[in-house]
Amino acid sequence: MNYKITHNTHYSYSNLVNLGYNEARLTPRSFERQKCNHCELTVEPDPTNYREREDFFGNTVSYFTIQRPHQELSVTVTSDVEVNTPKLKCDLVEAMEWSYVHERLQNDTDEEILEMRQYILNSPMIPDLSDIRIYAEKSFTLNRPLLESVVDLTERLYNEFDYDPDFTSIATPLKEVVEHRRGVCQDFAHLGIGCVRSIGLAARYVSGYIETVTDPDKEQLVGAGASHAWFSVYFPDIGWIDFDPTNNQIPSDRHITIAWGRDYSDVTPLKGVVYGSGSHELSVTVDCRAV
């Protein structure tokens, strides 16, 4: 499936801002089942400096600064992305028990597995949560295949937590999400990762988009019209498989991946430091159409 994506982030400041430094992770990645054919990032006012580089995880980072007084900042990304449904080697995946994966991660010494071990560890926004393992163990029962376990976990997160955009912000600690059983896609992704890691398995955070549906007969997924997030679990010999707890599904060709990392803090779509006083207002629009 091919998508044309337009993603605009707009900041308006109450007072003039003299200097702004920003880092954007908004260029969709290219990997086996996804190809970013074109991507353009426009910043208004015109940035004084603009540079791109690859970060630790291989995501494209756009660094830009604005060195004159401004009261608004607008960042627009337009991209053309081709997404294919992941081909899961079905028998192999379905049979692989989570305890087997756990053991491979502990004992294998090949380069890839050693690198994956960093995704088992806590990360800045996903600290140790008391009882998270007990919660997770309900899905990760004895001899259960990993895929089935995570599908079950995804479904439980979907059923047991309410989607409530008004309840949390980026800074809400995961603990509160668990306490109140509500949150948004980032929170559910973080929670899913926390559960998988508590079992001793490798999981990472994926930021991206979901198709914006225009056809009234087609089902609209939650999270369209904004940036979306889900999580991914590592299967030895196979690779990463994505899970979207907000929509209770394994993403196929309606999820477009921008970047991945340990958690949101590694892949924040647009962050910045500005020098000036006053407050700011933020608005984001995402349009992600199949073409």
Residues forming contacts to other proteins in the complex (CB under 8 A) are 11, 18-19, 21-23, 48-49, 51, 53, 55-57, 63, 65, 67, 109, 111, 114-115, 117-118, 121-122, 124-125, 128, 170-171, 173, 264-266, 268, 270-277, 280, 282
Take residue 185 and report the two structure tokens written for it.
């896609």
Nearer of residues 63 and 158 to other proteins, judged by Cβ: 63
Q: How many CB atoms lie within 10 A of CB 113?
A: 16
Nearer of residues 271 and 289 to other proteins, judged by Cβ: 271
Residue spans of alpha helices (H) in the chain: 90-95, 98-107, 111-116, 132-137, 146-160, 174-180, 185-198, 264-267
Q: Give the chain's count of helices (H) and strands (E).
A: 8, 14
Nearer of residues 172 and 248 to other proteins, judged by Cβ: 172
Nearer of residues 94 and 127 to other proteins, judged by Cβ: 127
The answer to whether residues 228 and 193 touch, using CB atoms and an 8 Å cutoff, is no
- Cα separation of 247 and 102, whole Å? 27
How far apart are CB 196 and other proteins at their closest, in Å? 16
Which one-letter amino acid corresponds to residue 201? Answer: L
The answer to whether residues 258 and 209 touch, using CB atoms and an 8 Å cutoff, is yes
How far apart are CB 79 and other proteins at their closest, in Å? 21
How far apart are CB 287 and other proteins at their closest, in Å? 22
How far apart are CB 172 and other proteins at their closest, in Å? 9
How far apart are CB 194 and other proteins at their closest, in Å? 15
